[in-house]
Amino acid sequence: MSKQYDIVVMGAGHNGLVAACYLAKAGKKVLVVERNKWAGGGVVTQELTVPGFRHDQHSISHVCLAANPMMTDDELGLLGKFDLNYNFLDIPSITLFPDGTHLCLYKDVDKTCESIAQFSQRDAETYRKHATFGKKVVPMFLQGMYSPPAPMGAFLSMLDQSQEGRDLFQMMTRSPLDILNYMYESDKVKIHFMKPVAQLLQMPDDMGTGLCMLMIPGLMHTYGIPKPVGGSGRLTDALIRCFEHYGGEVVMESQVDKVVTKHGRAVGLRTQDGQLHTAKDAVLAAIHPKRLDRFIDGLDEDLLRRANRVKSSPFNILTAHYAINEKAKFFAGDVVTKASATEYATTMNFKEFVDQFEPLRRGEVIREKLMFSGADQSHHDPSRAPPGKGVMLTQAFVPYFLKDGGPQRWDDYKEEVADMILDGMRPFISNFTAENIIARTVDSPLDHERHSPNSFVDGDEHGLGTYFFQGGSNRPIPELSNYTVPGVSGLYLCGPFMHPSGGVFGGGRATAIKMFQDLGLDFQKVVDQDRVKLTRTTGFEKKAPPVEAAPPEVSAAPVAAAAVQTAQAAAAEHDVVLYGGDGEPMISISSLEAGEAGLLINGRIYGTVPLRATLKPADLRRSLGLLSWGLIPFLIKLLFKR
């Protein structure tokens, strides 16, 4: 039995649903086929322990979604029409130390600096520069996160045109460990800032992962940490409502076993029960590069070889979900309950902390070196549990491939490791006792892979490691980075293994943009139609760019000093400035020069990255051709407008 659609989608993860919503809004007849009983992939909230307690099984917060135009412009109506609400807490993260002290990262930079100053005044001054620079550059990087990636060569060439760009490149290609040791002196401060880096599943000394040291403060102080009211899966619920509103269909518990091709073109999906879902325009599939040959016949052997060579994250996460009778109480006080993320340090020595990552390289779990985090989600979202009770989430970094027994050993070992985490957290939580625990469910890296076998390969919830060589137009590999598969027209890819990365980015928007281009659809026209004006504050309102100047240079922090020089570079009064849709300066043009190849344009992008581009004669002629006679009266009037 076969039914014809315009688009068929394999997988109802949040990336596939986002793309499907845009396509359905464009008037396409779209079907989504999902193997599980639930939609959302890694964005799902379920009653994992006992009824009434709602647990986030994978993602918890949606940090990287905060700047997505899907949310800031409410392009799909998720906030205005489909009942999606978020909490934004004033304390994105807190680190608890064994001596009873704690360090907070507040959304407010001044408060964060005060918290740091209790351990080092010098580090507080350095961090102010660090945060200022992060807020300056984060718009530039975010601009490319929600659309198809720019060519890596062009981006690197742009950075190489000035000393500021080369300083930025150096920071991007260094390791977080290098940067922290350059910039800070306090061990507690270093531990605090390495913790969120580790949450990205990055080793401290992984070269080419230093960008996170800019992005984390930039994101935290600009947006904070958005968490859906009711759990992470509320985003999925809103996407389903949106999708069905625009006529989309979802089929659950249906396992796709083949992408059907004809004459080199994808024409549908075949399921294990013999169903054939045909597509007139395109097929969109969440297929990890290491799984391509399982679903698509006839691909080039060299392509498959390169696809199988992609590198997973160096370690994974074991998660234990608790239903507790009484909300968690912390020895550090109520400040912990106001934080979005809570990290626990079992040492105050930075070298010892870094050494805790070593067992992960060897496939070992050692009780004394276990690193963990966790919070009671009901403190800031009472809807997650019955009145007075709590929903405790604990996580620990663990290997997927265990030294003894491999990944299959996790089924017998995960409860023991969960007990280790529980023992490690009890010195910080006064009532995390056996008497207060109602029920527990544990998910190992092997369980994560079972939940999403075609995305979370090797238990990697980020799809792939976030290495420099696997970023942007190299993610997952250059041939697949434009969301298409060589040799199979009409087939598109989405998932955490694609640009922008793992985590909740709403990355399906970028895939949708590519599909719109190929299908001859006007993306901006579609997102502008059927818009609802918001009548409430959502937290996703667009943020004005920072205007404060960076403090004087601190010689003890050479990387930060270079950052300050870059952050202080701003558009001069005589510059020509091009503004984004929300009024933020995007490109400033400082001078035009005559060159052999064409008109040389000098300036900056987002006030940070140098711009030196050439407008060639043919393009100049085309640009003049865009000026219709009807625009001339408008331009004359514009010249005199104040």
* Pairing state between β 91-96 and 339-344: parallel
pLDDT at 608: 52
Q: How far is CA 345 from CA 80, 179, 267, 323, 630, in A?
A: 41, 20, 52, 24, 66
Compute the CA torsion angle 112, 424, 463, 360 (nearest 10 deg): 110
pLDDT at 572: 60
Which residues have C-beta within 8 Å of that of residue 207, sequence separation ≥ 6?
Answer: 173, 174, 175, 468
In terms of domains, do 202 and 324 share one? Answer: yes
| CA angle, 433 then 438 then 443, to 5° | 95
Residue 189: closest CA among 100, 129, 102, 106: 102
What's the total number of domains in the chain?
3
pLDDT at 556: 36
Q: Is 528 exposed, middle or buried (0-12, 13-18, 19+ CB in 10 A)?
A: exposed
**DSSP H or E run through 267:** strand 265-271
Q: Per residue, what are the HEC states of 194-262? A: HHHHHHCCCCCCCCCCCCHHHHHHHHHHHCCCEEECCCCHHHHHHHHHHHHHCCCEEECCCCEEEEEEE
**Cβ neighbours of 51 (radius 10 Å):** 8
In terms of domains, do 267 and 382 share one? Answer: no
pLDDT at 560: 40
* Residue owning tokens 């701003």: 570
Which amino acid, 194?
M
Cα separation, 151 vs 506, in Å, equals 21
Q: Is residue 181 part of a domain?
A: yes
Residue 70 is encoded by which pair of tokens? 């899907």
Q: Are 505 and 68 in contact (CB under 8 A)?
A: yes
Cα separation, 182 vs 178, in Å, equals 6
548: Cα within 13 Å, side-chain hemisphere: 12
Enter the pTM of the model.
Answer: 0.88
**What is the span of the domain harbouring residue 299?**
2-60+232-311+462-528
Could you tell me which residues are beta bridge partners of residue 66?
none
Q: Are 248 and 24 in contact (CB under 8 A)?
A: yes
Cα separation, 255 vs 241, in Å, equals 23
Q: Is residue 492 part of a domain?
A: yes
Residue 351: closest CA among 187, 469, 499, 564: 187
In terms of domains, do 105 and 189 share one? Answer: yes
Cis bond leading into 500, ω under 30°? yes
Low-confidence ranges of the chain (pLDDT < 70): 1-2, 542-573, 580-586, 606-610, 627-630, 632, 635-637, 639-640, 642
Residue 4 is encoded by which pair of tokens? 């014809």
In terms of domains, do 321 and 439 share one? Answer: yes
**What is the end-to-end Cα distance of the chain in Å, rounded?**
65
In terms of domains, do 300 and 351 share one? Answer: no
In terms of domains, do 109 and 170 share one? Answer: yes
Q: How far is CA 590 from CA 68, 110, 140, 563, 569, in A?
A: 29, 33, 18, 21, 12
Q: Is residue 254 part of a domain?
A: yes
Q: How far is CA 2 from CA 201, 250, 267, 274, in A?
A: 42, 15, 12, 9
pLDDT at 137: 83
Which residues have C-beta within 8 Å of that of residue 638, sequence separation ≥ 6?
Answer: none
Pick the last residue of a domain from 396, 424, 451: 451
In terms of domains, do 317 and 293 share one? Answer: no
* Residue owning tokens 């020089």: 565
Q: Is residue 545 part of a domain?
A: no
Which residues have C-beta within 8 Å of that of residue 180, sequence separation ≥ 6?
Answer: 190, 193, 194, 204, 213
- The model's pLDDT over 264-295, given as tens digits with 9 standing for 90+, comes to 999 999 999 999 999 999 999 999 999 999 99
At how many degrees (to 10) do helices 163-173 and 152-159 cross?
130
In terms of domains, do 344 and 441 share one? Answer: yes
CATH label of the domain that carries residue 524? 3.50.50.60
Which amino acid, 556?
A
At how many degrees (to 10) do helices 121-143 and 212-222 cross?
90
Q: Is residue 79 part of a domain?
A: no
Q: Is residue 628 part of a domain?
A: yes
For the chain, the residue count is 642
Cα separation, 42 vs 11, in Å, equals 11
Which amino acid, 448?
H
In terms of domains, do 238 and 368 share one? Answer: no
Pick the last residue of a domain from 424, 451, 478: 451
Q: Is residue 467 part of a domain?
A: yes
Q: Are 248 and 9 in contact (CB under 8 A)?
A: no
In terms of domains, do 446 and 372 share one? Answer: yes
Pick the last residue of a domain from 423, 451, 479: 451
Residue 76 is encoded by which pair of tokens? 């799909």
Q: Is residue 85 part of a domain?
A: no
Residue 229: closest CA among 378, 387, 92, 335: 378
In terms of domains, do 354 and 283 share one? Answer: no
Identify the three-state secondary structure at position 356: coil
In terms of domains, do 389 and 425 share one? Answer: yes
111: Cα within 13 Å, side-chain hemisphere: 12
pLDDT at 591: 86
